[in-house]
Amino acid sequence: MKHFDFLVLGSGIAGLSFALKMSPRGRVAIVTKKQRAESNTNYAQGGIAAVTSKEDSFELHVRDTLEAGAGLCHEGVVRSIIEEGPARIAELIELGMRFSEREIPRSHGLKELDLGKEGGHSKRRILHAQDVTGREIEHALLSAIAAQPNIEIFEDHFAIDLITSQKLGCAGENRCLGVYVLNKNNGRVETIVASNVLLATGGCGKVYLYTTNPDIATGDGVAMAYRAGAAIANMEFIQFHPTCLYHPKAKSFLISEAVRGEGGVLKTVVGAEFMDKYHPLKSLAPRDIVARAIDIEMKKSGADHMLLDITHKPADFLKERFPNIYSTCLRLGIDITKEAIPVVPAAHYQCGGVLTNLHGETEIPGLYAVGEVACTGLHGANRLASNSLLEALVLAHHAAAQILAQPVPEMRIEIPGWQSGHAHNPDELVVVSHNWDEIRRLMWDYVGIVRTNKRLQRAKSRIANLQEEIQEYYWDFIVTSDLLELRNIATVAELIVNSALQRPESRGLHYNLDYPVPDPEWAQRDTFVRKPA
C-alpha cells in the first residue's frame, strides 16, 4: 500500500497541470496506464482557444461557445473559463510552452502569436504550435514535472477502481479514499491511498469503431466514477470530427479543422462543393453540422468518403503551417499540396462526463474530475473547437485552489487489498477482442451521428447481454488491462445509450430522427445517470 497527499489519474494536460500546482504542497502520485506522454493531449493539432488579440473580445468568444453549444451551455461557467484563459496561457508559456509566432506586418521583424481559425469561431483566436500543439504541451508540462522531486509518475499502471468509504461499508457520507491499480509490469494489483484524488483520464473515443482518439481513450474515468456512485451528465453528446483521414493504413489520423480555417474546402468525390446547402459558414460551420452534412452526402451518393481540398494554397505555406499533416499524408501517398485529402467523420470528443462544479468537485468528497472526463457545463450540446485544452488548464487551476482552500480531512481507516479471481483462461483474448469489436461496431451503427429510438433500444439490449458476459469474466479471472478496458467501454456505451434515450429531441450532437428538431422545454436540461443504489 502506498500513501500520497494527492493522487492524479492520467498524464494529459489536465493531470499534469494539476500535479504541478499541487507539488509545492505535498507528495503527488501520477498514475498513467501507458507511457507518460500517451494521451489525447499528445495528438491535439489545432490548438487552444483564448482571447489574446485586440480584434477579439471575451464577449465574442462567449457568444461563439454558446452558439456551438446549442442552448445547453451554462453561461456562468462559459464566461468564467473564457475570461480566465489568458492568465492560464501565460502560465503555460512561462513553463516553457512555445506557440507559433508570425511577423507583425511593417514592424521590422517584431513577432506576435500566430492565431489560427476553426469552425464556429468568429475570430482568429487559436494559439497553436504548427499542427502539433498537443505534443508541445505534453513536452513542456513533462519537462517542468521532471524538475519536481515531490511528483512520482507510475507508468504502465492502470487504475481499476476508486476506493470509497461506501464500498468499504463505512457509515456516513461517501468519500473517496484512493484507488486500486494494476501494475502492468508485474500483474499485481496495488492500493494507492490519498485524501484527494483527481480523475484526469480523458475521453472515450474508443467506444466507437472509427475514432480520432488513441488507444488510451476507453472512458475509464467515467466508468470508475459511475461505479463509485458519482453523477454522470450529458453523455449523449459525443462529438464526431468531420475530417479524419480516410486511408486503409492510417489509424485514427486527424486532419485538423485548422486546414479548413486556412481555406480548405469540403467536396464530394466528384469534386462538387456541398456545404453551402447546410450552413452559411460552409466548410467552417460548427462541427455537428459539418459531420452530419458529410454523413448525409456519403449516404446519398454511396461514397465511402468525402474530400478536403486545400491545393489552392501555396505549397510552402502548407508545409510550414501543417508539417505533421503534410508529412503523414505524403508517407501514405497523398501530396496535400497537389491533391484533395480523403476524409470521413469519426468519434472525437466526449462533451459529457463526470458531473463537476467550477472547482472540479464531483458529488463524492475527495474526488475531483478535470479535463475531457468531466462535464462542467462549458460545452453544452456541442463543444466549440479548441475549447477543451482551455477548459482543462483553467479547471486544473480551480481544483488545485479549491483543495488548498478547503482541504478534505484525512480519514484513517483500514483499506483491504484487492480481491480478484485466480483463474487463467486460455480463451480470454478471443472473447475479449470479439466483445470489444462488437461494442464498437454497434455503437457506430446504432448510436452514431444519426440515431433513432429503435436503434437505441436495440443497442441497449445488446449491451446488457454483453455486460453480463463481461461481468462473469471479470470476477472469475485474473484481471488484465484488456479485460478492464472492455468492462469500461461496455459501461460507457450503456451510459451513452441511456442518456440518449432520456432526451426526446435533437440538439447539437444528439440527432434523433424520431424527434428531428430541438424542443425548447429541453433547452436548459442536462441528462444524468447514476448507478442504481
DSSP H or E stretch at residue 116 = strand 115-116
Confirm if 47 and 258 have CB atoms less than 8 A apart. yes
Cα separation, 525 vs 508, whole angstroms: 13
Could you tell me which stretch among 198-206, 318-326, 332-340, 460-468 binds ligand FAD (CB under 6 A)?
198-206
Could you tell me which stretch among 200-208, 255-263, 301-309, 405-413 binds ligand SIN (CB under 6 A)?
255-263
Q: DSSP labels for 45-91?
A: -S-EE---STT--HHHHHHHHHHHTTT-S-HHHHHHHHHHHHHHHHH
Instruction: Using the minimum distance from each CB to ligand SIN, give the nearer residue, 367 or 385.
Output: 385
Residue 389 near ligand FAD by CB under 6 A:
yes
The number of CA neighbours under 13 Å toward the Cβ of 520 is: 0
**The only residue of 4, 7, 8, 14 in contact with ligand FAD, by rule CB under 6 A:** 14
Residue 45 near ligand SIN by CB under 6 A:
yes
Q: Would you state the cell numbers that stand for residue 93, as one nine-digit string?
A: 508559456
Residue 385 near ligand SIN by CB under 6 A:
yes
Instruction: Using the minimum distance from each CB to ligand FAD, give the nearer residue, 116 or 448.
Output: 116
Residue appearing with cell numbers 424542443 = 519
**Residue 398 carries which side chain, given as an amino acid letter?**
H
Angle (CA) 193 197 199, round 5°: 130
Residue 11 near ligand FAD by CB under 6 A:
yes
Could you tell me which stretch among 9-17, 89-97, 185-193, 427-435 binds ligand FAD (CB under 6 A)?
9-17
**The only residue of 65, 133, 165, 491 in contact with ligand FAD, by rule CB under 6 A:** 133
Cα separation, 203 vs 34, whole angstroms: 15
Q: Would you state the cell numbers that stand for residue 80, as one nine-digit string?
A: 468564467
Radius of gyration of the chain (CA): 22
Cα separation, 144 vs 89, whole angstroms: 15
Confirm if 198 and 12 have CB atoms less than 8 A apart. no
Q: Catalytic site residue 287?
A: yes
For ligand SIN, what does the binding mask look like between residues 387 and 416, x meaning CB under 6 A? -x----------------------------
Give the Cβ contact number of residue 327 at 10 Å: 12
Question: Least distance in Å: CB of 99 to ligand SIN?
Answer: 14
With CB under 6 A as the rule, give the number of residues binding ligand FAD: 43
Instruction: Using the minimum distance from each CB to ligand SIN, give the nearer residue, 145 or 390.
Output: 390
Question: Least distance in Å: CB of 153 to ligand SIN?
Answer: 26
Confirm if 109 and 103 have CB atoms less than 8 A apart. yes
For ligand SIN, what does the binding mask look like between residues 331 and 370, x meaning CB under 6 A? ------------------x---------------------
* Catalytic residue annotation: 287
Point out which residues bind ligand FAD (CB under 6 A): 9-15, 31-34, 38-41, 43-48, 133-134, 158-159, 200-203, 212-213, 216, 220, 254, 349, 371-373, 386-389, 392
